């Protein structure tokens, strides 16, 4: 018997009820009967044929076989390694995994002949619903409600122009004011929103609020007007024409679209063509584009020369370490020089001390953002600075 192929004579068993699960099988030819050994005797549950998958249930829930499989005719099976299937299941979305397992549990309960108790069975099965999947479903449901009830808030973190010592603009940072958990950080829920298309209406919501805020500043006669940068994540970028959305939000409120800046995270620059196209179209409409979190995981200097970003935002990890680590300081100095040579301006993120600000000023870094200048402000706090 080869590991890659199993030849069975009629009447030969593939596995017996109660056996531990090892492999699933793909039926290449012949017919396999599924038999359940019950107190009343052997019951034939069904017959599988070419193209059918056999024995995968025990692999999914890592339980002993609940039925036997026997060749009804001569048959050829291809074993599918159990570990290969389990690994895929473990790596899948926890919600999909939980749905699969709860359906399987329900099916097993019905198979075991406890039909009269199927209501109980359903309760038992769903109480086994994995808790991480449950938490995720609850969180996503609450997030949808928060969006619908407009309880997502925007905070505005000042971006400081070091030389002129003035606030040049803001970064819009979303906050979820959760009824019991208080302010929830986007680090927790943006990734969740990105797993479904929920990120699209959230992004649209942020754009609308930002455009309203800029319109209010304009109404107050603020001059010069600060810019507001909005974060755009991968899925938003792929599903929506972000530039068209920015232009529409600005124009419907009579503000200059150039006041809204698009911040793309560095991981996105993997799709160089799409980013490059966005930047060109943005520039044609006077909209600036910033590269966020520069220097983290996905740094790809090979692409940077092709992408005409207006701003590069240095990830806060560098500012955090640069005063204690001379080698880190050397990297920051080199990044400032490189960014300038590419015709862009650097925004240092996470500036928390005067010493950090002074070091950045000395290097010629144009902008600083961080708790030293200001934490993300509420709309009211922000407007109070522009009476």
Would you state the structure tokens that stand for residue 92, as one six-digit string? 């899948």
Taking CB under 5 A as the binding criterion, the range among 24-32, 157-165, 274-282, 345-353 that sits at the site for Mg ion is 345-353
Scan residues 118-147 and list those touching ligand C2E (CB under 6 A): none
What is the DSSP code string of 63-74? ---SSEEEESSS
Minimum distance from residue 232 beta carbon to ligand C2E (Å): 6
263 near Mg ion, rule: CB under 5 A: yes
293 near Mg ion, rule: CB under 5 A: yes
- Paired strand residues for 311: 290, 345
Q: Are 317 and 286 in contact (CB under 8 A)?
A: no
Minimum distance from residue 161 beta carbon to Mg ion (Å): 17
The one of Mg ion, ligand C2E, none whose footprint includes residue 370, by CB under 5 to 8 A per kind, is ligand C2E
- Of 72 and 194, nearer to ligand C2E (C-beta) is 194
- Of 142 and 366, nearer to Mg ion (C-beta) is 366
User: Would you call 348 helix, strand, or coil by DSSP?
Assistant: strand
- Of 349 and 356, nearer to Mg ion (C-beta) is 349
Buried b (16+ CB within 10 A) or exposed e, 140-175: bebbeebbeeeebbbbbbbbbebeeeebbbbbbbbb
CA distance 363 to 337: 9
What is the DSSP code string of 367-383? EE-STTT-PPBPHHHHH
Would you state the structure tokens that stand for residue 210, as one six-digit string? 């930002």
Tokens 């099988």 belong to 25
352 near ligand C2E, rule: CB under 6 A: yes
> Out of 33, 266, 292, 345, which residue is the one contacting Mg ion (CB under 5 A)?
292
The one of Mg ion, ligand C2E, none whose footprint includes residue 376, by CB under 5 to 8 A per kind, is ligand C2E
82 near ligand C2E, rule: CB under 6 A: no
- Of 33 and 349, nearer to ligand C2E (C-beta) is 349
317 near ligand C2E, rule: CB under 6 A: no
371 near ligand C2E, rule: CB under 6 A: yes
293 near ligand C2E, rule: CB under 6 A: yes
Taking alpha carbons only, the member of 153, 209, 156 closest to residue 176 is 153
187 near ligand C2E, rule: CB under 6 A: yes
- Note the Cα 137 to chain centre separation in Å: 15
Chain residues that interact with ligand C2E, rule: CB under 6 A: 157, 173-174, 185-187, 190, 203, 206, 231-233, 265, 292-293, 316, 349-352, 369-371, 376
């Amino acid at each position: 018997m080869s590991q890659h192929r199993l030849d069975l004579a009629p009447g030969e068993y593939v596995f017996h009820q109660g056996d531990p699960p090892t492999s699933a099988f793909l039926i290449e030819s012949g017919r396999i009967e599924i038999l359940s050994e019950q107190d009343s005797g052997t019951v034939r549950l069904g017959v599988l044929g070419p193209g059918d998958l056999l024995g995968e249930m025990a692999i999914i829930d890592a339980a002993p076989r609940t039925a036997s499989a026997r060749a009804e005719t001569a048959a050829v099976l291809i074993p599918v390694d159990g570990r290969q299937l389990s690994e895929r299941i473990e790596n899948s979305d926890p919600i999909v995994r939980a749905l699969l397992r709860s359906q399987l549990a329900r099916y097993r309960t019905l198979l075991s002949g406890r039909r009269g108790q199927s209501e109980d069975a359903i309760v038992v099965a769903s109480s086994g619903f994995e808790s991480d999947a449950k938490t995720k479903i609850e969180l996503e449901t609450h997030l949808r409600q928060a969006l619908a009830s407009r309880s997502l808030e925007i905070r505005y973190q000042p971006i400081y122009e070091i030389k002129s010592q003035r606030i040049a603009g803001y970064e819009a940072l979303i906050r979820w004011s959760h009824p019991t958990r208080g302010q929830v950080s986007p680090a927790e829920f943006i990734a969740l929103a990105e797993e479904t298309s929920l990120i699209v209406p959230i992004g649209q919501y942020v754009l609308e609020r930002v455009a309203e805020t800029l319109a209010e500043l304009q109404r107050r006669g603020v001059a010069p007007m600060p810019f507001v940068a909005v974060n755009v994540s991968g899925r938003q970028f792929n599903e929506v024409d972000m530039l068209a959305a920015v232009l529409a939000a600005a124009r419907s409120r009579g503000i200059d679209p150039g006041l809204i800046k698009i911040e793309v995270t560095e991981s996105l620059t993997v799709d160089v063509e799409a980013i490059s196209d966005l930047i060109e179209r943005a520039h044609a409409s006077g909209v600036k584009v910033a590269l966020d979190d520069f220097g983290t995981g996905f740094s790809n200097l090979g692409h940077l020369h092709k992408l005409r970003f207006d701003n590069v935002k240095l990830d806060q990890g560098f500012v955090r370490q640069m005063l204690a680590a001379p080698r880190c300081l050397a990297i920051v100095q080199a990044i400032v020089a490189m960014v300038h040579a590419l015709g862009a301006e650097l925004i240092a993120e996470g500036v928390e001390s005067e010493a950090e600000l002074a070091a950045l000023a000395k290097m010629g870094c144009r902008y600083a953002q961080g708790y030293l200048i200001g934490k993300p402000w509420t709309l009211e706090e922000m407007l109070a600075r522009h009476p």
